[in-house]
Amino acid sequence: MSLVMIGLEIHAQITAINSKLFCSCRGNYRDLKPNTNICEICCGLPGTLPIINRKAIEYSTMISIALGCKVPNKIMFYRKNYFYPDLPKNFQITQYNVYGFSSIGAEGIFELDDSKKIRITRIQLEEDPGRIVYLEGGMNVRNSALIDYNRAGVALIEIVTEPDFTNPKEVRLFLNKLSLILEHLGVCDTLLEGSVRCDVNVSIKGGNKVEIKNINSFKEVEKAINYEITRQNSMFNRNIKIDSETRHWDDRKKITFKARSKEEEHDYRYFPEPDIPVIILGDNFVSNLQDHMPELPNQRFDRFVSKYKLSEHTSNILINDKKLADFFEATLKLYFSPMEIANFLITDFKSLIEDDIDSSDYLRNLKVKPAHIAELVKMIEGNKISRITAKDILVKIFDSGKLPSEVANNTNSFKISDEKTLMDAVESVFNTEKCAVEDARTNHEAINFLLGKVMKFTNGRADPKIAMRLINNRLNESN
């Protein structure tokens, strides 16, 4: 038995649909005033009937397939009964594995790396609760709190794993890979606030399980697990009983604190949702979805390596940012030079967008488009500009949105290939750097110094191959 056992409960909103899971209220609630995105259905008023969102079933099935889960022929919904202020109905419509597979997916296997597999217990489709906003010191002070029900009823996928993780780094790797899958499927924008949340179950040495909730980022998940392992080890070494409980993560103090005793499954009093009949998916439902599913990250990686001849390192950098990988392929449609475009994007281009990369729309809002990068790389490969000049042009494009050729014309950035013009530059350098010229006659490496002076004289625009040939010719003439 492993000394540390970690299991995850990941909640991912299906942001690709416009409405909530059981009503027509907006799925995207983030720009609305509190408690304005609610109706009789998502508040559970008497006499209302939920109507299932078909797209939510399709997207949750795609996630189940991508994570290697079995998808049943029929699914059911249940009422999970508990009281919490953000739950307007006092129960949550969710799924529960009884009478066979009644949730949208179960018994999955996810390959974390070559030597580690993570078992997926189940994947269930459910409604999101509302939001509690704590004021005056935060959750652990509890002086006051506000409730916003705009989120209540939003379609949510819960992914539950077996306790197969043994350290926080494995958890972080899994969450990163899961995010990539959700992004490539197009079902969840993982950069939206609150779109992906994670609860963690931690136990050591076969002891009681402690659940950690209220973790707001993957980075904080790693910190929370590290803290909880340290806390439990300390208690174990002092023969203090570790209670099965729910704890919250305080991301300011970087500690967990007790919220309540851990609920057991029977505490929720699950029973079938009477207002939603059993849903029969049908024999061809899964196969039809598989035929039309988007390319998954691993498949895309293999294609980048085989079709575009990119290195594994370069392919990984691109695919780990789906929007950048999409930008890359859009550029290729305009000018096909995979390696040069990929290298330009992950070096010069990416260094300019580092501050905005956490925004979900960071590429959409840029003035630089695939057409700009395509023309810029074409100019580099056509020997019209140098790579150094290309980077300077790219900076100007970020501000202006003008095409590279226009910027190059306005700034006299095109390479100088005219031999007469370059010969004038060489002569000027020979006249001002006479000691270096003498050195170059006996020391071949000194020629590079002369070339550098020619490049400086021409503001970096000289074609270095032509300039080098002219310098050599001029040295030979002197000899």
Asked whether residue 375 falls in the same domain as residue 264, the answer is: no
Asked whether residue 13 falls in the same domain as residue 64, the answer is: yes
Asked whether residue 250 falls in the same domain as residue 165, the answer is: yes
| Residue at token pair 């490969």 | 381
Asked whether residue 342 falls in the same domain as residue 235, the answer is: no
Asked whether residue 329 falls in the same domain as residue 454, the answer is: no
C-alpha span between 390 and 273 (Å, rounded): 62
C-alpha span between 462 and 68 (Å, rounded): 57
Total domains present in the chain: 3
By CB neighbour count within 10 A (0-12 exposed, 13-18 middle, 19+ buried), where does 47 fall?
Answer: exposed
Alpha helices in 284-352 (DSSP H): 285-292, 297-307, 312-319, 322-332, 338-344, 350-352
pLDDT number for residue 123: 96
Asked whether residue 313 falls in the same domain as residue 337, the answer is: yes
Asked whether residue 375 falls in the same domain as residue 429, the answer is: no
Q: How far apart are the first and last CA of the chain?
A: 81
**Residues near 27 by Cβ (< 8 Å), separated by ≥ 6?**
13, 14, 15, 17, 18, 19, 20, 154, 155
Last residue of a domain, one of 287, 304, 327: 287
Asked whether residue 257 falls in the same domain as residue 320, the answer is: no
Asked whether residue 380 falls in the same domain as residue 423, the answer is: no
CB 415 within 8 A of CB 464: no
C-alpha span between 351 and 388 (Å, rounded): 14
- Residue 230's domain comprises 4-287
Last residue of a domain, one of 260, 287, 314: 287
pLDDT number for residue 362: 67
Asked whether residue 150 falls in the same domain as residue 9, the answer is: yes
C-alpha span between 173 and 179 (Å, rounded): 10
Asked whether residue 275 falls in the same domain as residue 343, the answer is: no
In the chain, the amino acid numbered 362 is Y
CATH number, domain of 465, equals 1.10.10.410
How would you write the pLDDT of the chain (479 residues) with one tens digit per residue? Answer: 458 999 999 999 999 999 999 999 999 999 999 999 999 999 989 999 999 999 999 999 999 999 999 999 999 999 999 888 889 999 999 998 765 668 999 999 999 988 899 999 999 999 999 998 877 655 555 567 899 999 999 999 999 999 999 999 999 999 999 999 999 999 999 989 899 999 999 999 878 999 999 898 899 999 999 999 999 999 999 999 999 999 999 988 999 999 888 777 778 888 899 999 999 998 899 999 999 999 999 999 999 999 999 999 999 999 999 999 999 999 999 999 999 999 999 998 988 887 666 555 667 778 899 999 999 999 999 888 888 888 889 999 988 999 999 998 888 778 777 788 889 888 898 988 888 888 888 787 788 888 888 888 887 778 788 888 888 888 887 65
pLDDT number for residue 1: 42
Last residue of a domain, one of 410, 438, 455: 410
By CB neighbour count within 10 A (0-12 exposed, 13-18 middle, 19+ buried), where does 449 fall?
Answer: middle
Asked whether residue 235 falls in the same domain as residue 315, the answer is: no
